[in-house]
């Protein structure tokens, strides 16, 4: 996973947290990034499969990829241009 991490401006590990915490933490982390930056989110709560895409759509971010690795859910998010995330 190290090579993949190099393309991200930030990495957020929210394993062990239940929704809505992964989405809230992702929002906070995206607030710190510049428009166009990439964020990798790693979560373990199955509910995030529905919550993270909905959050990205509503907040104006682009969900580039979502996939499962073992018991973890990985999301590659590109920060959008909107001021509010």
Q: Is 19 a catalytic residue?
A: yes
Distance CA 64, CA 24 (A): 19
CA end-to-end span of the chain, whole Å?
27
Place of tokens 């993270």: 52
Which of 12, 14, 19, 52 is the catalytic position? Answer: 19
**What tokens appear for 53 in the block?**
């895409």
For the annotated catalytic residues, the residue numbers are 19
């Amino acid at each position: 996973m190290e090579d993949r991490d190099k393309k991200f401006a930030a990495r957020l590990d929210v394993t062990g947290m239940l929704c809505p915490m992964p989405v809230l933490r992702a929002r906070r982390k995206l607030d710190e990034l510049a428009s166009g930056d990439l964020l990798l989110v790693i979560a373990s709560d199955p509910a995030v499969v529905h919550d993270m895409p909905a959050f990205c759509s509503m907040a104006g971010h682009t969900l580039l990829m979502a996939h499962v690795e073992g018991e973890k859910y990985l999301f590659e998010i590109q920060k959008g241009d909107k001021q509010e995330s």
